A = this chain, B = another copy of it.
Amino acid sequence: MQLVELHKALANDTRMDIMRWMSDPEKNFRPHKDGKDFSDGVCVQVIQEKTGMSQSTVSHYLSILQRANLVITERVGKWTYYKRNDETIRAFLSELQLTL
């Protein structure tokens, strides 16, 4: 667990927003067009619309969150679903508690 890498990943308003929104997707995102629920995560398009930023930027941000292991990815057909990786988040918080 790279503490500093995690801080870098979270040192951006949009990425922080995304992490928070993903805590409660039903509340924070519009539904998927095919009606699929959020149990596997949220697809990039829906996240992108919410942020109001370009598709490439959001895709890039998601890859940064993924490199930091803050999110888990699952590809299903054309779609890629992203959801929080709660294990990393828990580990991050307790490491911070101990070492900061």
A residues adjacent to B (C-beta < 8 A): 3-4, 7-8, 10-13, 16, 19-20, 23, 89, 93, 96-97, 99-100
Contact = CB atoms under 8 A, between A and B. Distances in A.
Grouping DSSP codes into helix (H, G, I), strand (E, B) and loop, the A interface class, with mixed when no group exceeds half, is helix
Contacts of A4: 10-13, 16
Contacts of A13: 4
Nearest to A12: B4
Contacts of A96: 93, 96
19 contacts: A3-B16, A4-B11, A4-B12, A4-B13, A4-B16, A7-B7, A7-B8, A7-B10, A8-B11, A10-B100, A16-B100, A19-B100, A20-B99, A20-B100, A23-B100, A89-B100, A93-B93, A93-B96, A96-B96
